[in-house]
Amino acid sequence: MKAILHVIEYDFKNFFRYRWFIIGLITMNLADLFISAVVFTQMTKNIPNFDYFQFFAPGLAVLGLFASAFMIGREINMEVRREIHHYLLSLPMTRAELAIGRVLAGGLRGMLYMTPLLITNFIVLRFPTLPQILLILLTLLLLAVGISGVSISIAVSTTSFEKFVTARGVIYYLLFFCSSVFYPMSIIQVLATKGLGNLVLFAQINPLTNGADMIRSFLLDSPDYVFSPLMLLDVAIFSMIFVFIATFAYMKVLQRH
């Protein structure tokens, strides 16, 4: 456990080295909320009982969580390319500890970045009860660790930074555009009428949809969003699968070198 904590500490120190990157990310997130969402609110004012700004705010927390949890992959890809893992392997810890530490650190960094966005949600929408807050944090932590796992899995499967960036882009577009982060699930059904029924199914089981809708179920007074334990289960399964894949893949890459 102590070794894992050291790895997490190492990755947190690295995270703060990217302060300019974080400032850039925050600016982009705030521009999404205070420019795009405000304008789309005007464009959707004909929809009864729907305020786009309020709808999008929880989605933004998930958006920020994804972007920051994914950053660990960029670092690991760089380490693989520059062979920094030789140094990491010389440290007094097992490969499993190193791999688990990296996956957890990626997720925790995502949680750290997302916290101000979540607090903004509480201020703008409403404060949930303590059990609701704990449930939100648990779900988002699972989501963040799962995203970190996806990122690491991709990062170790290629030594090319360009390929990593391309794969990140494809995953980002698929996960975000086929989710309820930007628009309600009821509207996404339109894709089924255009012969894209599989994407609707994907959107329903997408962990980002379940994460965002779970926050909405506690923060929005809308009958459209009701908490279901299946939301938590969906995110937990996603997280477990990718934590396992990432840990295994990272260990294999370390072993190979």
Please say which residue, 43 or 130, places its beta carbon nearer to another protein.
43
Residue 128, Cβ density class (10 Å: 0-12 exposed, 13-18 middle, ≥19 buried): middle
- Restricted to residues 198-217, the positions that interact with another protein (CB under 8 A) are 199
Q: How far is the CB of 55 from another protein (least distance, A)?
A: 10
Angle at 106 between CA 68 and CA 16, to 5 degrees: 65
Residue 95's identity, in one-letter code, is R
Q: Tell me: does residue 178 bind another protein (CB under 8 A).
A: yes
Q: How far is the CB of 189 from another protein (least distance, A)?
A: 9
Q: Tell me: does residue 130 bind another protein (CB under 8 A).
A: no
Give whole-number Cα distances, 243 to 38, 103, 188, 231, in Å.
Answer: 36, 7, 29, 18
Please say which residue, 190 or 230, places its beta carbon nearer to another protein.
190
**Per-residue contact string for residues 8-27; x = within reach of another protein by CB under 8 A:** ------------xx-xxx-x
Q: Tell me: does residue 171 bind another protein (CB under 8 A).
A: no
Q: Tell me: does residue 197 bind another protein (CB under 8 A).
A: no
Q: Tell me: does residue 36 bind another protein (CB under 8 A).
A: yes
Q: Report the chain's terminal Cα–Cα distance, integer Å.
A: 25
Q: Tell me: does residue 177 bind another protein (CB under 8 A).
A: yes
Written in H, E and C, the secondary structure of 123-161 is: HHCCCCCHHHHHHHHHHHHHHHHHHHHHHHHHHHHCCCH
Q: Tell me: does residue 191 bind another protein (CB under 8 A).
A: yes
Whole-number Å distance between alpha carbons of 188 and 177: 9
- 83's torsion region: left (phi>0), alpha (psi -120 to 50) or beta? left
Which of these ranges, 88-96, 117-125, 166-174, 216-224, lies near another protein under the rule CB under 8 A?
166-174
Given 12, 16, 127, 173, the residue binding another protein (CB under 8 A):
173
Given 119, 170, 192, 233, the residue binding another protein (CB under 8 A):
170
Which of these ranges, 4-12, 94-102, 127-135, 181-189, lies near another protein under the rule CB under 8 A?
181-189
Whole-number Å distance between alpha carbons of 139 and 147: 12
Q: How far is the CB of 135 from another protein (least distance, A)?
A: 28
For residue 242, which of 111, 140, 104 has the smallest C-alpha distance?
104
Given 93, 112, 165, 241, the residue binding another protein (CB under 8 A):
165
The residue count for binding another protein (CB under 8 A) is 41
Which of these ranges, 35-43, 88-96, 99-107, 136-144, lies near another protein under the rule CB under 8 A?
35-43
Binding site for another protein (CB under 8 A): 20-21, 23-25, 27-28, 31-32, 35-36, 38-47, 160, 162-163, 165-166, 169-170, 173-174, 177-178, 182-184, 187-188, 190-191, 194, 199
